[in-house]
Structure 1
């Protein structure tokens, strides 16, 4: 199948066509021509006048329910949501049943996702059953296609276990992803510690619950030489700790969830459970620090932290409702609205497409002749509104339904397929 993208501005620092307005011809999954004007009989034409193309975006922190929780999200619906959000690749957390803690689950995911327009990369569980006790089959999972290791939304509480995991992974250059939270400090609190928590009459999670774990894992990375990636960093202190570690040359990387760049905890005043996430929404001071971290390279990537739930898990009292936002389809709009005056378009593309793959050791797509076509078409100025009927995910637990959004992924091209949104 031939696809022709017309009059798109190319945003790709690795391309010789970066910054130029070009037509791009794709045939059998390859970029066969890039020129000012291309005519191609029989090609499916997409007019991208006034729009941009970049290497296909990658979300390195999503939660699907396959296997075991397919009513939340299976691989097919999850990939459809990713494509609608402009992502040509996702890395999925091991929060499944059974967890992805052996090569059998990794191979199941790899085989089940074959042929999709979205590439799926499994993140193996760091521990057996995600219990934080016994190290899982990390090397075997690497051989089967796992790109990193994490216990997902279960932070590793035992420092000795984390140290031994880093030492083991170091033997084959494996990456450990840390979700930083000290459970003994966070306890059963549901929101950020601060003025809003006081108004709501709820116990809050202090920033130090995150920062202590970041500090611990930085020390362990320095001691072992192992690679640590911090996911969904949400506090100003956490950003500062990572900045200092990187200045020392430690193998530390980090990402931030897009909702932590746009929303502060004041939105919880209405007790809307769709705003209930973990880490919790923080303060405006934390948001500023996160944006500064993105701008100076302390934070490498942005993620959706896509966490779908059936309606019965969210449509209940705030205290008992589940954590998470179904965020793949709105991730770019939220990121764009939060950072359009903070980051240049090239910096946004780096955080969306390039850095995630570099962190995970994956090949970065490039918009160049005779290269595989792995492309996202997007429009930062496109105004739109999310409706429940148009959500591709199985789950609709998002606070952005009915909200005015700015910035949209218009199409993706990958694996010889073109999906127009």
Structure 2
């Protein structure tokens, strides 16, 4: 596939062409020329990049797909189709499947099922057997088989001693723990953020304290072992402050935030729309402001989709019994644009840093590099509806809404996908 992109703005902090308007030529899967006034050759597809941005391909480090075992929610084929449409050329998939990804057999299954795809699909192995937080899973074997990190998905590791042992064990082979922060004894059976809104709606609230106490514990353990720990899906101003201080103190703590926590606030729950029911819950405006500040000052390393597909019977029910989560792979970019992030910030938090955290090769927009990029127009509007939704599930509050920021091309593994 030979491709010439004309007049496009490059957004890549690692490239000498960052923020410059250029023509980009791709031949046989490699970027062969970047410059101005490049002339199209015979049998070369031409894309007019006027008004568009070319970024290293997006990478999602927080994605659930359901395969194996829950393919009615999402399988690898539909997940990668949704990922492509959202601009992702790579996704790291969580182990909360059936069976749980807890040995090399499940890791190899995912890798083999996803072969020859435009989207790189990388398994995250479970920390504990059955995600129960009691016995270590086969961490080293999974790492050898291709697991890029270890997580118990949306389940917090409750036992302090178990978490300490997991950190010690992964240190031996340079493994990374990605943990969900929630103190279960404080969280209880909460539904939404603890605030005036939870009182008004008559639902049990989840206090910020539950998240922040858990993060404090993991900071202490990371300090004690002098080992890296990654905190997934932070959502409160207090969490940002804790992690900022820990980083300043030299603790090897990193973290990410879900895109919807940068835009949505708890007031959206006033109509009891279960599509806004996520975990951690939507927080207050001051939390959103702190998260955005934390992104810009480097406290928050990366942005994830927190893609959580569910069948209709798990979401189209009373709020109290609805499952947590939304489909999000196709809506991350519009949310980040709505949140006010510029193209370079998006490239850093959605393309570069997620790969750095997982110690993966980072694509660079330069001559001679393998082509791995996303082209999007930050001002183009499109409607997210049944026809344009590539996920197998439909649990998104953004369906049937017009969104700003459209992916137009993705290129990876010598494969091109375009969207009109």
Length-normalised TM-score, structure 1? 0.98
Partner Cα separation in structure 2 for residue 160 and residue 96 of structure 1: 25
Partner Cα separation in structure 2 for residue 400 and residue 412 of structure 1: 22
Match of 1:400 among 389, 398, 401: 398
Structure 1 residue matching 2:331: 3-state secondary structure: helix
1:121-163 Cα distance to aligned partner (Å, 9 max, x none): 1110001111100111111111111111010011100000000
Q: Residue in 1 aligned with 2:33?
A: 33
* Number of aligned residues: 418
Structure 2 residue matching 1:388: 3-state secondary structure: coil
1:222-245 Cα distance to aligned partner (Å, 9 max, x none): 011221111110011111000000
Extract unaligned runs of 5+ from structure 2. Answer: none
Map of 1:322-333 to 2, 5 A cutoff?
A: 322-333=323-334
Partner Cα separation in structure 1 for residue 42 and residue 199 of structure 2: 65
Partner Cα separation in structure 2 for residue 251 and residue 174 of structure 1: 13
Matched, 1:284 2:285: yes
Q: Residue in 1 aligned with 2:211?
A: 210
Q: Residue in 2 aligned with 1:10?
A: 10
Match of 1:387 among 385, 388, 404: 385
- How far residue 40 of structure 1 moved from its aligned partner, in angstroms, is 2.0
Partner Cα separation in structure 1 for residue 131 and residue 41 of structure 2: 52
Matched, 1:364 2:365: no
1:360-387 Cα distance to aligned partner (Å, 9 max, x none): 1001001111110000101111122211
Q: Residue in 2 aligned with 1:420?
A: 418
1:376-403 Cα distance to aligned partner (Å, 9 max, x none): 1011111222112210000010000122
* Contact residue 106 and residue 146 of structure 1 kept, 8 A: yes
Matched, 1:66 2:67: yes
Q: Residue in 2 aligned with 1:100?
A: 101
Map of 1:227-238 to 2, 5 A cutoff?
A: 227-238=228-239
* Contact residue 169 and residue 226 of structure 1 kept, 8 A: no
Structure 1 residue matching 2:319: 3-state secondary structure: coil
The Cα RMSD (Å) is 0.9
1:299-332 Cα distance to aligned partner (Å, 9 max, x none): 0111110000111111110000111000000111
Matched, 1:168 2:166: no
* Contact residue 40 and residue 46 of structure 2 kept, 8 A: no
* Contact residue 259 and residue 334 of structure 1 kept, 8 A: yes
Partner Cα separation in structure 2 for residue 117 and residue 38 of structure 1: 27
Partner Cα separation in structure 1 for residue 302 and residue 138 of structure 2: 27
Q: Residue in 2 aligned with 1:410?
A: 408
Partner Cα separation in structure 1 for residue 261 and residue 13 of structure 2: 27
Q: Residue in 2 aligned with 1:293?
A: 294
- How far residue 18 of structure 1 moved from its aligned partner, in angstroms, is 1.9
* Contact residue 23 and residue 38 of structure 1 kept, 8 A: no
Matched, 1:181 2:182: yes
1:5-50 Cα distance to aligned partner (Å, 9 max, x none): 2211111121122222222121221112222123121122221111
Structure 1 residue matching 2:378: 3-state secondary structure: strand
Matched, 1:346 2:333: no
Matched, 1:76 2:74: no
* Contact residue 53 and residue 343 of structure 2 kept, 8 A: no
* Contact residue 25 and residue 38 of structure 1 kept, 8 A: no
Partner Cα separation in structure 2 for residue 263 and residue 76 of structure 1: 29
Q: Residue in 2 aligned with 1:137?
A: 138
Partner Cα separation in structure 2 for residue 162 and residue 45 of structure 1: 52
* Contact residue 3 and residue 418 of structure 1 kept, 8 A: no
Structure 2 residue matching 1:243: 3-state secondary structure: helix
Structure 1 runs of 4+ off > 3 angstroms?
Answer: none
Farther off after superposition, 402-411 or 370-379: 402-411
1:37-72 Cα distance to aligned partner (Å, 9 max, x none): 231211222211111101111011000010000110
